[in-house]
Amino acid sequence: MKKKLAFAAALLAATMLGGIANAKTLVYCSEGSPEGFDPGLYTAGTTFDASSRTVYNRLVEFKHGSTEIEPGLAESWTISDDGLEYTFKLRQGVKFQTTDFFTPTREFNADDVIYSFDRQLKADDPWNKYVAGAAWEYSAGMGFPDLIKAIEKVDDHTVKFVLNHPEAPFLADLGMDFASVLSKEYADKLQADGKMEQMNQQPLGTGPFTFVAYQPDAAIRYKANADYWNGAPKIDDLVFAITTDASVRRQKLEAGECQIYPYPNAADVEALKGNPDLHVEEQAGLNVAYLAYNTLVAPFDKAEVRRALNQAINKQAIVDAVFEGQAQVAKNPIPPTMWSYNDAVEDDKYDPDAAKAALEAAGVKDLKMKIWAMPVSRPYMLNARRAAELMQADLSKVGVSAEIVTYEWAEYLKRSSDKDRDGAVILGWTGDNGDPDNFLDTLLGCTAVGGNNRAQWCNEEFDGLVKKAKEISDQAERTKLYEQAQVVFKKEAPWATIDHSTTFMPMSKKVSGYTQDPLGIHRFDNVDIAE
């Protein structure tokens, strides 16, 4: 039976990949399956790579390899003197993709922008709950429902965002994946046909690649969008070959079954660099990995308990074992490559004896807890299971019994957001826009509790500092506030900060034009492959 199922899966994958042998095809061995194809609904980079960075665009975009903003679907913009009004002149002549499931009859306009945001901001919008349990986690975590007072259609090619208060990172926020622009015409057709859920299964946008088909947990196929407003891609077909095991991804690359892949095992990097047929790009990652306690559940609601547990964890051992030293121990919730990083903060020292004494002083005995280990490799954490095993061993030395649990990736992300979650969660973040706010408020602000704030931690002092920093345009003043916020974070210890990693991208030497992005984005619109 297993052989039959394996054969059937192989046949399906072959069918998906069939017919592209003679085309210029790039196969990307991706690390996991997307949660869906509507980027507004999710927060995972795996999902964004498969949806927002292939099929969609945003009003503004990040330049390849940079955190700098450039025009996207908006060709220009103006900001009012009080910082409350952003007026965007929309690019004209932009076509939505034509697919087997929908043929657009008009070009991109202001209606598409308003639809794309209204569904995330307005509870009474018919698209707000089109997927069961839709929480628009990213939009909510960024505070958009409270920030955006109104979105006005000035004319077909002009849109005005009116804010309730100034927001320094707002423009950069609009370059993020959740701010992707969808087709209102396509949405209206799906709604009329009673097939709204299709928006999350068969995406259609203005981006460089057109969605063709998805074989769950096996492959996603795209074709080049010949009408792409920013120039048609150089490759004809793009295939995401979903390969969760990093060792298998390496094997496929070396066998020529794929031409590029992310998140190699740290132990494989030197051998990959030594392969004359391959090229390995690397850069310091704009990322952090952490263990988030649930601060709403005793005894993890006490800062002294959390700090004691942090003292029990040997973070350097994790960096050595999981990353082969290709990472650094983290002490702050933002990476040292980011402006406002507070290097004066002192890290919790690894001290099992002090940890044990602190737990006893807090009245904690025979503590049993769960450590959640991610089922996928991410740049900030290549092997969460191994990291969890090391933490488990460390905690046992101070009398804490830890059970390791995991779930399928989409389920893991969903469950880990629950306020009543049982256990501390290994997770992490790669910056989405190069602004400290994207870490500090998005992951630790009060508005992100029940969403991106996996620690379920709402601290008035910390929240006040990061919220104030949002409203100030002067970077020096913002820096002071963020530095203070990092001190509060360290004192309160909602996380055990683990590491900031170096990211590597192995690829065939036949591949050209690929640029590593500090934001952890994997984009293929500029990529070519020698035949």
Assigned token pair, 399: 């009398």
Residues, the chain, total? 531
Say how far apart CA 179 and CA 181 lie, in whole Å.
6
SS3 453: strand
Say how far apart CA 487 and CA 342 lie, in whole Å.
8
Assigned token pair, 101: 């499931």
Instruction: Find out whether 493 and 348 touch, Cβ atoms under 8 Å.
Output: yes
What crossing angle do the helices spanning 475-492 and 437-444 adopt, rounded to 10°? 40
The neighbouring-strand residues paired with 60 are 71
pLDDT score for 22? 65
Give the residue among 382, 359, 350, 387 at the shortest CA–CA distance from 372.
387
The tens place of each residue's pLDDT in the chain, 531 residues long, gives 333 333 334 434 444 444 444 689 999 999 999 999 999 999 889 999 999 999 999 999 999 998 899 999 999 999 999 999 999 999 999 999 999 999 999 999 999 999 999 999 999 999 999 999 898 988 988 889 999 999 999 999 999 999 999 999 999 999 999 999 999 999 999 999 999 999 999 999 999 999 999 999 999 999 999 999 999 999 999 999 999 999 999 999 999 999 999 999 999 999 999 999 999 999 988 999 999 999 999 999 999 999 999 999 999 999 999 999 899 999 999 999 899 999 999 999 999 999 999 999 999 999 999 999 999 988 899 999 999 999 999 999 999 999 999 999 989 999 999 999 999 999 999 998 889 999 999 999 999 999 999 999 999 999 999 999 999 989 999 999 999 999 999 999 999 999 999 999 999 999 999 999 988 889 999 999 998
CB atoms within 10 A of CB 107: 18
Task: Write the DSSP string, 117-136.
Answer: HHHHH-TTSTTTTSSTT---
**What stretch of H or E contains 487?**
helix 475-492
- What are residue 145's phi and psi, to 5 degrees? -60, -35
Query: Can you list the positions of beta strands (E) in 91-247?
Result: 148-155, 158-163, 209-215, 219-224, 237-241
Instruction: Find out whether 70 and 83 touch, Cβ atoms under 8 Å.
Output: no
Contacts of 54 (CB under 8 A, 6+ apart): 207, 208, 209, 211, 222, 238, 524
Please give the CATH architecture assigned to the domain spanning 287-503: Roll (3.10)
Instruction: Find out whether 175 and 433 touch, Cβ atoms under 8 Å.
Output: yes
Separation in Å, CA 235 to CA 31, 53, 67, 70, 258: 21, 15, 25, 24, 14
Cα-based angle 150, 156, 157 (whole degrees, multiple of 5): 90
Say how far apart CA 17 and CA 525 lie, in whole Å.
20
Say how far apart CA 391 and CA 318 lie, in whole Å.
8
Say how far apart CA 356 and CA 334 lie, in whole Å.
28
Contacts of 403 (CB under 8 A, 6+ apart): 368, 369, 370, 371
Which residue type, as a one-letter code, is found at position 46? T
Contacts of 390 (CB under 8 A, 6+ apart): 314, 317, 318, 321
CB atoms within 10 A of CB 288: 26
User: In CATH terms, is domain 35-201 a member of 3.40.640.10?
Assistant: no
Separation in Å, CA 409 to CA 45, 254, 280, 442: 12, 27, 27, 20
- What are residue 73's phi and psi, to 5 degrees? -70, -20
pLDDT score for 531? 81
Say how far apart CA 204 and CA 188 lie, in whole Å.
13
Contacts of 427 (CB under 8 A, 6+ apart): 289, 290, 292, 374, 381, 416, 454
Say how far apart CA 141 and CA 149 lie, in whole Å.
17
What would the 3-class secondary structure string for 491-508 be? HHCCEEEEEEEEEEEEEE
In which residue ranges of the chain is CATH 3.10.105.10 found?
287-503
Say how far apart CA 531 and CA 181 lie, in whole Å.
34
Say how far apart CA 521 and CA 515 lie, in whole Å.
10
pLDDT score for 146? 94
pLDDT score for 1? 39
